[in-house]
């Protein structure tokens, strides 16, 4: 990575219902509102990152196959994956893929947000241990 880059810490999502997405990311993943310039645009943070929630333009329909595969949230310890999986389940969110440990020592699971965007919750040693 170029030495001036700090990492991929900003993602912008187009969503059908801004408030439903804000509620999901805040209640399920503990993010907080950083800035809300208007009802169609809300910026969330968990501290060192920024997730922009934008209203999908009227009349537009997301493609059946999206180019974004998934977004990921990193945790510090493998056991944090299990704790957050239980929290996600407690919010009534179905897991797309159950918690599992990968051959490289990573541990993760997948679930979807209100717009069906796939989210990976991940302990990944090279990234998690760098924090």
pLDDT in tens, 1-11: 778 677 888 99
| Apex 38 CA angle, 36 and 62, nearest 5 | 95
Give the architecture (CATH level 2) of 1-58: Roll (3.10)
Count CA atoms within 13 Å of residue 125 on its CB side.
6
What sign for the dihedral angle of Cα 34, 77, 115, 63? positive
Domain ranges of the chain: 1-58, 69-131
Percent of the chain with pLDDT over 90: 73
The Cα 45–Cα 85 span in angstroms is: 20
Do domains 1-58 and 69-131 share one topology? The answer is yes
At 102-122, the pLDDT tens digits run: 989 999 999 999 999 999 999
What is the reported pLDDT for 65? 54
Which CATH code of 1.10.10.10, 3.90.600.10, 3.10.180.10, 3.90.930.60 fits the domain covering 69-131? 3.10.180.10
- Whole-structure pTM value: 0.87
The pLDDT value given to residue 7: 80
* Averaged pLDDT of the chain: 91
**Nearest CA among 70, 42, 37, 36 for reference residue 55:** 42
């Amino acid at each position: 990575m170029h030495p001036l880059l700090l990492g991929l810490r900003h993602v912008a999502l187009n969503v059908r219902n801004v408030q439903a997405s804000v509620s999901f990311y805040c209640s399920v993943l503990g993010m907080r509102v950083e800035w809300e310039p208007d009802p169609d645009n809300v910026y969330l943070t968990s501290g060192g990152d920024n997730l922009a929630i934008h209203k999908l333009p009227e009349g537009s329909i997301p493609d059946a196959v999206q180019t974004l595969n998934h977004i990921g949230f990193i945790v510090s310890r493998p056991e944090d994956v299990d704790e957050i999986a239980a929290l996600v389940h407690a919010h009534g969110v179905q897991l797309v893929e159950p918690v599992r440990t990968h051959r490289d020592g990573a541990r993760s699971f997948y679930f979807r947000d209100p717009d069906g965007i796939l989210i990976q919750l991940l302990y990944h040693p090279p990234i998690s241990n760098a924090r």
